[in-house]
Amino acid sequence: MARAAAKNADVVVIGAGIIGLSIAYQLARRDAGRVVVLEKGAGVGEGSTGASSACIRLRYTHTEIIRLAQSGMTIYRQWPEFTGLSSPRAAFQHTGVLWMLGEDRQTVEAERDRMVDLGARALMLDAEGVRERYPALSTCGATLDLSGKHDHECTDHDSYLFEVEGGYCTDPRGANQDLLEAARRDGVDVRLRSGVEAVRSQGGRVQGVDLADRSRIDAPVVVNAAGPWCNAVNAMAGLELAWTLRPTRVQVMYRVSAGEIRGELPLVGDAAGGIYFRPDSRGPDGRGQQILVGSIRPEDEQEEVKDPDHFDRSLDPDMRQRLLHALHHRLPSLEYRARVTGIAGLYTMNEQDVHPVVGPTELEGFVVANGFSGHGFKLAPAIGSMVAQWLTGKRAEFDTDVPMEFLSLDRQSLAVREKSVLA
Ligand SMILES: Cc1cc2nc3c(=O)[nH]c(=O)nc-3n(C[C@H](O)[C@H](O)[C@H](O)COP(=O)(O)OP(=O)(O)OC[C@H]3O[C@@H](n4cnc5c(N)ncnc54)[C@H](O)[C@@H]3O)c2cc1C
């Protein structure tokens, strides 16, 4: 059967997750011509974005990543202004970020100074300072035996890095929907139930895409923002990247905490128990008071999923047990009997350096924004800005100054403190 006549676009973006729609919206903000976003799902947020913990913090090994995260944080903080929506679904919830990584005083001081030099508000707290701000938190620094079989003796640790400005997005799927609304308002043609099944090229140049409904779109620029499906889309373009981008199953637990916590909670990175956690304003009753908990252990970011359309989306019982054990250690006032739920989602680990690859490929006009590992939600607004600046040469309000080359396909692997979500 012949394909329907081609419709032209200036840019086709494959995937309407937070990355694809950030790119499309940033293109529309600088009048980049006809931008078409193709999404195979019936709605947005069905990939990584909908499952995201949406933590927004700044501490990373590399200055450029901190600057991208700062740019993302600025935008999420000013979400109504950025999107131009008077009542967006998503909001930035400020909590601060407490790094309980068992680091010595010198390391924490150096990290604080490095972040302050970059314009971030960061403090060093001692155990007393932590207890004053967050009375519910234990300040133990001793590593926990996660099997729970051995006795644990809590020992106070005395130096903690505190990011004053961090927090989380209250509704990552809502943020994705907000961008859909803003992009459409500004003229982007976002088509749902429009899976791309081929990328056409000729003479080393991309020509456009073929859709599952047998229509086709011609375009001189095609952007792969297909999240955990990125390898399949790159293969459609005849590309095998030098980077290993692995769809990875990642689990998150939610524990109801109504009335059990004295005072506020920040977003916490907790090396003793190998977890991160934060308050969650959603909650089963829609009124909040639950805690979201995930792992920071590199071994919990190893489970490769061969087919991103089919994987177990539930929380494993042993993971549930480990996360609960570590959470109770850090929040001793929690009761053991509580309502606990959980999910598993996918993100695309870049095995080499847990950072994304963004930029042009050897197929002229074919651009990738892939491999965001556990950082893509906070980085998305800045990635949209980077790609849109590079494609149009135009600047707009809220732009990042980090050049796209920093994340290019032909870069060296970035040396990171730890190959994990901490990076
Ligand atoms: C459990 C979990 C916790 C996380 N926590 C954080 C966090 O705290 N902070 C943070 O910054 N990041 C976090 N992340 C990572 C972040 O959510 C992701 O990096 C980000 O959402 C990636 O967005 P994306 O648009 O690339 O991918 P996706 O959201 O997966 O979007 C890709 C889209 O492409 C579509 N698509 C695929 N193939 C095709 C095709 N052939 N044709 C058309 N459409 C196609 C898919 O349907 C999908 O909608 C977390 C992720 C998970 C899973």
In a shared domain, residues 346 and 356: no
The CA 119 to ligand 1 mean position distance, Å, reads 29
Buried-state track 387-414, b at ≥16 Cβ within 10 A, e below 16: bbbebbeeeeebbbebebebbebebeeb
- Spatial separation of the C-alpha atoms in residues 195 and 191, rounded to whole Å: 9
Burial class (CB in 10 A: 0-12, 13-18, 19+), 189: middle
Assigned domain for 17 exists: yes
Kindly state the greatest CA–CA separation across the chain: 72
- Alpha-carbon distance of 234 to 236, in angstroms, equals 5
Q: Are the beta carbons of 34 and 9 closer than 8 angstroms?
A: yes
Same domain, 253 and 315: yes
60 and 188 together in one domain = yes
Can you give the pLDDT at residue 286? 57
Specify the pLDDT at position 54: 97
Q: Which residue has the tokens 């590399």?
A: 62
Is residue 205 in a domain? yes
Q: Strand pairing of 267-270 and 97-100? A: parallel
**How many A from CA of 266 to the centre of ligand 1?**
25
CATH number at residue 387: 3.50.50.60
Tell me how far the alpha carbon of residue 48 lies from the centroid of ligand 1, in angstroms. Answer: 3
DSSP 3-state assignment of 350?
Answer: strand
In a domain, 418, yes or no: no
d(CA 368, CA 3): 26
pLDDT, residue 250, reads 98
Taking only the tens of pLDDT, the chain with its 423 residues reads 555 555 699 999 999 999 999 999 999 999 999 999 999 999 999 999 999 999 999 999 999 999 999 999 999 999 999 999 999 999 999 999 999 999 999 999 999 999 999 999 999 999 999 999 999 999 999 999 877 678 899 999 999 999 999 999 999 999 999 999 999 999 999 999 999 999 999 999 999 999 999 999 999 999 999 999 999 999 999 999 999 999 999 999 999 887 888 999 999 999 999 999 999 987 655 556 899 999 999 999 999 999 999 999 999 999 999 999 999 999 999 998 888 999 999 999 999 999 999 999 999 999 999 999 999 999 999 999 999 999 999 999 999 999 999 999 999 999 888 888 889
CA of 203 to the centre of ligand 1 (A): 32
What's the CATH code of the domain at 342? Answer: 3.30.9.10
* Residues 332 and 382 reside in one and the same domain: no
Task: Report the residue among 48, 60, 65, 92 best suited for mutation to probe ligand 1: largest number of ligand atoms under 8 A from its CB.
Answer: 48
pLDDT at 3: 59
Task: Work out which ligand 1 atom sits closest to the CA atom of 251.
Answer: 1
Amino acid at 346: L
* pLDDT value of position 257: 86
Q: Are 249 and 342 in contact (CB under 8 A)?
A: no
Looking at the fold, whether 29 and 122 belong to one and the same domain comes out as no
pLDDT number for residue 258: 78
| 261 and 395 both lie in a single domain | no
- Please tell me the distance between residue 125's alpha carbon and the centre of ligand 1 in angstroms: 34
Quick one: 252 and 345 in the same domain? yes
50 CA distance to ligand 1 middle (Å): 7
pLDDT at 122: 98
Q: Is 242 exposed, middle or buried (0-12, 13-18, 19+ CB in 10 A)?
A: exposed
Same domain, 298 and 341: yes
Residues 339 and 250 in one domain: yes
Give the number of domains in the chain.
2
Residue numbers of the domain that contains 270: 97-164+246-350
Around ligand 1, the residues with Cβ closer than 6 Å are 14-20, 38-41, 46-49, 51-55, 195-196, 225-229, 233, 250, 252, 345-347, 372, 374-378
Q: Whose CA is nearest to atom 19 of ligand 1?
A: 376
User: Which residues face 222 on adjacent strands?
Assistant: 12, 366
pLDDT of 147 reads 74
